Structure 1
Amino acid sequence: MTANPPGEGDPFVLLHVGDLHLTTPEAASARDLDAILARIAGLPRAAFDFAYLPGDIAEDGTQAQYAILRAALARHPDLPVRLIPGDHDRQHGTIAAFDALFAEIAGSPRGGGHRAVPHRLPRPEVEKEVRHFCYAETVAGVRCLFVDMVSPGYGRKGVGLDFRIGAPQMAWLAGEIAEAAAGDRPCAVFLHAYPDDLRPPQERLDLAGLLWDGRVRLVEMGHTHYNELAHDGRTLYAAARSVGQNEDGSVGYAVAAIDGPVTSWRFRPLDRTAPFVLVTSPADRRLATRPSTEAAAGLVRDAQGRIRVRALVLSDREPALCRCRADHGPWTAMTRVSARIFEGRLPWPAGSRVLRVEAADPRWPGHGPDFVDADAIEPPAAAGDAPAIPERPGSDTFRIGVWPGKGVRGDQLGPNRAGRQW
């Protein structure tokens, strides 16, 4: 089952809520979590597939800290959630508290009914059984693989990070990616950190090679604490801003979509009013799969020389308008074609550079920044060469850099790069 081509169904849409680092119910992280979940729960349920929590849920991995998330989710019982562990979820050398949380949330209808997978793995002292929080499911035609980089390692507070995959999980992942590629099914992988952060050098190369050779479309990550996009010509690596240890701007959540051959991403801050717009087709030149043919970039023209423009509009009420234009040309109205997508046909003359989609809430007075939002992309001008594998695959060396329209500051502020020591 392949993903729906543009114009023939809804895209896959996920909402990424960054590392929570929950401490106490009175802390800002708990208040921000409540605000984010309330904003998400206010959206039409058909507008997205699930909310993703990329690990580092609890600052010290304690039951009391996970109880904060349980209480927040209890206020929104219909909200679908997917989660994996981060290094803070085993701060004191045990992941038992996260295991209990996973069994409760992931093992429920809201979490897809997933279970931890036991494996026997080598350890410094003696081989022991380890529970992997890895699982797979197909959502909106996309094969989603959730990978545990934490449980196979030995890291704990005072010792440091020790991200690993382990042979059983690596073999499982290789099989899943190969099967998705053979079936021409797009694949998204969910990690806590970049593959380059794995401790064993061979595992770094093995995982990055699997993602490259399998043409995985999206790798969604936490850990960095800042918004970052890195695209190697095949795969978009996307990291989202932390909720609990944030040095990167307003808290919020990231929105990612796979719409036929096009992958898109944008951060939604909570200090902005509805609506929120994400262009899901055509592709931006910075994120387009290379070689960027018209078909691969979503730029196939009809008999009148028009391209199909598709956009996801997230809001708690129906937009009063949604429209698109090329550069500074006239606006073209877009119409709702599903619970997720607005579409329009737009003339795209040779030499056009910027495609802009704008949506307005019924409360918009016709001026000012509140209750109106826009996403702007730059579609590829021409087909490019097929990419060569990067020198350090699975790392941030090919990051895109500053992109304010997508919420990417590019300064890498966070405890894992250039931020303060949390």
Structure 2
Amino acid sequence: MSTPIPDGPSRPFLFLHVGDQHLTVRGARNHADLAAIFDQIAGFGRDAFDFVYLPGDIAENGAGEEYALIAEILRAHPTLPVLLIPGDHDRQYGAMDAFGEFHTAVMAERHPPVVNALLQPPAAPNREPERKLIPQYYFRHDAGAVRCLFLDMISAGYGQKGMGLDFRLGPDQLAWLGDEVSQAAREGKTCAVFMHTYPDDLEKKEAEDVAGLFWTQGVRLAEMGHTHYNELAHDGRTTYASGRSVGQNEDGSVGYAAGAIDDGEVSWRFRPLDRTAPFVLITAPADRRLATRALRADASGRIAVRAVVLSDATPARCRCRVDRGPWHAMDRAAEGSVYEARVPWPPGARLLEVEATDPRWPGYGPDHIDHDVIEPADRIFLTPDRPDKPGSDACSLGAWLEKGVRGDQLGPNRAGRDW
């Protein structure tokens, strides 16, 4: 029912992250919200972004009737590029048969599973563990200059409901990951990894290996679910971004995140479903909190500004300004959702703002007008030291309200309700 996704265009790499769905029954609030999110995303047009990412926990109980709900939504949008991985709830009761059937029917044409012989937990004391052929759902997808690696942290795990759910990659996937990350570096590609949760949540030895790999090889982005809240953590080389859950949501308005990589630098912002179009994401320059290099200016002191504007209608106007100074018009690039300008960046400047106005804006009020505001990096950038705990939320940036990050870690896996 799906078609392969072609390589991405020359515009900034852009994906939309729809958080953990936890689907249960038809007509539940999260089921209706998920359908509304897909309807809204489809209105942007196929060329506005590279793909839609589902980070796992699609079904609350890993049941076939729960996957039927997401399959129905995907059938309603057959040309929408969707890429997904499993989460721990997709193995909620120790098996992934229903997820496997859903994947075979809906997703296998885009990314078929890899079958590996994995050690199973010992069946009894003093018995050697046995190997079993297990499908794992990891794969690679290239989007222009960005290599996207999607990990399966679930299928190799030993745990089950009531006995502890653990996260593992297994030796085959771990070796594959190392090869792919190293190859991306050799080819000069920016590497982004899509996984269910922080590397730190993996089995201890794997956690150390994956976090070390990301740091030493300069993986630029790790995009995750599981937390149920929006969070950005940055260790100077890798941005770790987790998105708010669609189901079991207590972090604020339901919605989805837009993440981008533009010339090797990451940008990210959450869009609530109840906000009107348009939606603005500045992709260049990088904010100082996510930057990995100094701000670049030309000989005349001007910087390149780029922003993605997502909407179901062409904006009536897109413009930018520095420190609430004069506005500068931004021109629409060849790729329809991207707007560009070159503007003076004087010494000591701090804020960059991009504003997009929808044709439906009445001239007042917050509807049909949107702003993104960042603090670009300085022209001097100091290479950071290796963090004490790479691959974790130890480098969390805390609250960043302009990006939709509240910083309270309000979710069932940290400080929220026991769902």
* TM bracket, shorter-chain basis: over 0.9
Look up the match of 1:244: 247
Shift of the alpha carbon at 1:387? 1.3
Shift of the alpha carbon at 1:280? 0.3
CA contact (8 A) 2:16 2:259 kept: yes
CA distance in 2, matches of 1:15, 1:45: 12
Which of 138, 147, 150 aligns to 2:151? It is 147
Residues 44-89 of structure 1 show CA distances to partners (whole Å, capped at 9, x for unaligned) of 2100011000000000001000000011111111111000000000
Residues 251-272 of structure 1 show CA distances to partners (whole Å, capped at 9, x for unaligned) of 1100000111321000011111
CA distance in 2, matches of 1:78, 1:63: 23
CA contact (8 A) 1:87 1:156 kept: no
Shift of the alpha carbon at 1:304? 3.1
> 1:169-184 residue pairs with structure 2 within 5 A?
169-184=173-188
CA contact (8 A) 1:248 1:413 kept: yes
CA distance in 2, matches of 1:163, 1:342: 41
Residues 227-265 of structure 1 show CA distances to partners (whole Å, capped at 9, x for unaligned) of 000000001100000000101111110000011132100
CA contact (8 A) 1:255 1:265 kept: yes
Look up the match of 2:127: none
CA distance in 2, matches of 1:205, 1:341: 38
CA distance in 2, matches of 1:230, 1:104: 36
Look up the match of 1:326: 322
Shift of the alpha carbon at 1:127? 1.8
CA contact (8 A) 2:278 2:311 kept: yes
Helix, strand or coil at the partner of 1:397: helix
Look up the match of 2:95: 94
Residues 266-315 of structure 1 show CA distances to partners (whole Å, capped at 9, x for unaligned) of 001111100000000000000001xx223xxxx322x4321110000000
- Residue 215 of structure 1 aligns to which amino acid in structure 2? G
> 1:1-40 residue pairs with structure 2 within 5 A?
9-40=10-41
Look up the match of 2:192: 188
- Residue 339 of structure 2 aligns to which amino acid in structure 1? F
> 1:194-233 residue pairs with structure 2 within 5 A?
194-198=198-202, 200-233=203-236
Which of 281, 288, 306 aligns to 1:310? It is 306
Shift of the alpha carbon at 1:226? 0.2
Which of 357, 360, 375 aligns to 2:357? It is 360
CA contact (8 A) 2:44 2:310 kept: yes
- Residue 99 of structure 1 aligns to which amino acid in structure 2? G
CA distance in 2, matches of 1:227, 1:300: 32
CA distance in 2, matches of 1:11, 1:382: 22
Helix, strand or coil at the partner of 2:225: strand
CA contact (8 A) 1:84 1:146 kept: yes
Shift of the alpha carbon at 1:142? 0.8
Residues 297-345 of structure 1 show CA distances to partners (whole Å, capped at 9, x for unaligned) of xx322x4321110000000000000000000100000010121210011
Shift of the alpha carbon at 1:128? 1.1
- Residue 316 of structure 1 aligns to which amino acid in structure 2? D
CA distance in 2, matches of 1:103, 1:389: 41
Q: How many residues align?
A: 405
CA contact (8 A) 1:351 1:381 kept: no
CA distance in 1, matches of 2:133, 2:211: 26
Helix, strand or coil at the partner of 2:418: coil
Residues 150-209 of structure 1 show CA distances to partners (whole Å, capped at 9, x for unaligned) of 0000122111221011111000000000000111100110100000011x2111100101
Higher mean displacement: 387-396 or 352-361 = 387-396
Matched, 1:65 2:66: yes
Look up the match of 1:56: 57
> 1:258-277 residue pairs with structure 2 within 5 A?
258-277=261-280
Matched, 1:114 2:131: no
Look up the match of 1:388: 385
CA contact (8 A) 2:294 2:378 kept: no
Shift of the alpha carbon at 1:106? 2.0
CA distance in 2, matches of 1:228, 1:75: 31
CA distance in 2, matches of 1:272, 1:49: 22
Shift of the alpha carbon at 1:381? 2.2
Helix, strand or coil at the partner of 1:138: strand
Give 5+ residue unaligned stretches, structure 1. none
With normalisation by structure 1, the TM-score equals: 0.94
With normalisation by structure 2, the TM-score equals: 0.95
- Residue 324 of structure 1 aligns to which amino acid in structure 2? C
Residues 133-164 of structure 1 show CA distances to partners (whole Å, capped at 9, x for unaligned) of 00002112211101000000012211122101
Structure 1 outlier segments of 4+, above 3 Å: none
Shift of the alpha carbon at 1:382? 3.4
Which of 316, 332, 336 aligns to 1:336? It is 332
CA distance in 2, matches of 1:87, 1:262: 30
Shift of the alpha carbon at 1:100? 1.4
CA distance in 2, matches of 1:378, 1:130: 47
CA distance in 2, matches of 1:50, 1:83: 10
Shift of the alpha carbon at 1:105? 2.4
Shift of the alpha carbon at 1:41? 0.6
CA contact (8 A) 1:87 1:155 kept: no
CA distance in 2, matches of 1:212, 1:220: 15
- Residue 254 of structure 2 aligns to which amino acid in structure 1? V
Shift of the alpha carbon at 1:104? 2.3
- Residue 313 of structure 2 aligns to which amino acid in structure 1? R
Look up the match of 1:131: 135
CA distance in 1, matches of 2:105, 2:260: 27
CA distance in 2, matches of 1:38, 1:62: 24
